[in-house]
Chain A
Amino acid sequence: MNKNKNRLRRTMMFLNCQKPGLIRDPYIYGADSIILDLEDAVAANQKDSARYSLYHALKDLDYRGVERIVRINGLDTPYWKEDIRVCVAGGADAIRIAKTETREDVKAVETAVLSAEQEFNRPVGSTLLMAALESAKGVLNALEICNSSDRLFGIALSGGDFTKDIQTTITGTGVELAGARQHMILAARAAKIQCFDTVYTNLDDMEGFRKDVEMIHRMGFDGKSIINPKQIAVVHEIFTPSEKEIIYAKKLIRAINEQKEKGIGVFTVDGKMVDIAFYDGAVRTLNLARAAGIAINF
């Protein structure tokens, strides 16, 4: 398995590939991943131009460890196959598939990616995939999409297109997205891949943004797509475990390791019954704390 498949992805920041001023140094803002966009942000008559910018950005610029994901054009357009060739040739870390609706959509991209890896002498399996679900059909097929490819590290909700498809609008309350969010989380967790929430487009409403992030954090999302650097700090703050959570996670890991050696499967920590199933969650808590710059002496 690609070692980056389960890396930390609290924030994924969209950047227009066609804008040199945006893609030259976005690592300074500290997002976990950037999404270099060939799709909606790029006008139809500039699709070709954006690919040259993308290729040289991937090959020539040092993004200092920030994951480089490319959003390719939809499979219903004439652009996606050449998009994949340039992504793989440039060495993108991952490809975000727009408008995913079925397992076959992911399989079609997977086949084209494999072909490109062979054409450009890239290691087979080095290009990961993620799927954006943007319609009722895509959301309802979430589980088959999640299980469609070993390359797929996660699914993401695209709220704007999704609400159009179900004939409503983004209200700011989250009510119109609640069903899709819950369904996608369940599918992603069942398939043991990651799940990402949609963008929050009102940049003037930071309080609303904060409430939105708090809610999706509680729902179990791994992170959120963002459109502006000023949204990064809020997401990272909310996804940073509290001191109490960190102490408890350490206790859990120690206790589970000790009890496992003694052959005991179920026991209590701080008065609460726990077992081995709590282990991964505790490790994830410590990884989130480390990502936030908290020293974990363990």
Chain B
Amino acid sequence: MEIINTAIAGTLESSDVQVIVEPATEGIEIELESTVINQYGKQIRTVIMETLERLEVKNAKLRVIDKGALDCTLKARVECAIFRSNHIMEQLPWGGAIR
């Protein structure tokens, strides 16, 4: 998928994560801020990259502000931001690219 528009998902509440995606042309760029970056920064980046791979996103700029989200929440917010950037709201690939 391509990132067509800037889109945002998630909040800055505890246990949540806010993800902003923007169009880019030269690969994946992730700017990460987290309350647990020293313990889980590497894992958070891995989950983001795996999610982007499943969605076949090759070029994107992401700004991620984590407030202690579980992996399942992180995946949910990244997916939501990317599908929002494409204005896709229905007939989503549950169990396929979203898993």
Residue numbers of A with Cβ under 8 A of B are 19-21, 24, 48-49, 51-53, 55-57, 59-61, 81-82, 85-86, 89-90, 120
- Cα–Cα, bound, A20→B91 (Å): 24
Q: Is the interface of A mostly helix, strand, loop or mixed?
A: helix
A53 contact set on B, CB distance < 8 A: 72-73, 76
Offer 13 A-B interface pairs, CB within 8 angstroms, sorted by A.
A20-B13, A20-B15, A24-B15, A48-B83, A51-B92, A52-B75, A53-B72, A55-B76, A55-B94, A60-B70, A60-B72, A85-B91, A86-B92
Question: Is B84 a contact partner of A48 (Cβ separation < 8 A)?
Answer: yes
Question: Is B92 a contact partner of A82 (Cβ separation < 8 A)?
Answer: yes
A55 contact set on B, CB distance < 8 A: 76, 94, 98
- Cα–Cα, bound, A61→B77 (Å): 16
Question: Is A85 a contact partner of B69 (Cβ separation < 8 A)?
Answer: no
Q: Taking the complex as formed, is B22 at the interface, i.e. its CB lies under 8 A from any CB of chain A?
A: no
- Extra contacts, 14 of them, besides A48-B83, A120-B94 (Cβ < 8 A), are A19-B16, A20-B70, A21-B14, A24-B73, A48-B89, A51-B92, A52-B76, A53-B76, A56-B76, A60-B71, A82-B89, A82-B91, A85-B94, A90-B94
Contact-residue bracket for chain B? 20 to 34
How many pairs of residues, A versus B, come closer than 8 Å at their CB atoms? 65
- Cα–Cα, bound, A143→B4 (Å): 50
Residue numbers of B with Cβ under 8 A of A are 9-10, 13-16, 69-73, 75-77, 79-80, 83-84, 89-92, 94-95, 98-99
Q: Which 7 pairs from chain A and chain B are nearest by CB?
A: A89-B94, A56-B72, A52-B76, A21-B15, A60-B72, A20-B73, A20-B15
Q: Closest B-chain residue to A86, C-beta based?
A: B94
Question: Is B75 a contact partner of A56 (Cβ separation < 8 A)?
Answer: yes
Partner of B80, one of A21, A52, A59, A82: A52
A49 contact set on B, CB distance < 8 A: 9-10, 76-77, 80
Question: Is A120 a contact partner of B95 (Cβ separation < 8 A)?
Answer: yes
B14 contact set on A, CB distance < 8 A: 21
- Cα–Cα, bound, A89→B94 (Å): 6
- Cα–Cα, bound, A55→B14 (Å): 20
Min CB gap A240→B, angstroms: 33
Question: Is A82 a contact partner of B90 (Cβ separation < 8 A)?
Answer: yes
- Cα–Cα, bound, A24→B70 (Å): 8
Question: Is B95 a contact partner of A89 (Cβ separation < 8 A)?
Answer: yes
Min CB gap B21→A, angstroms: 13
A81 contact set on B, CB distance < 8 A: 90
Contacts A21-B13, A120-B95 given; does A52 touch B89 at CB 8 Å: no
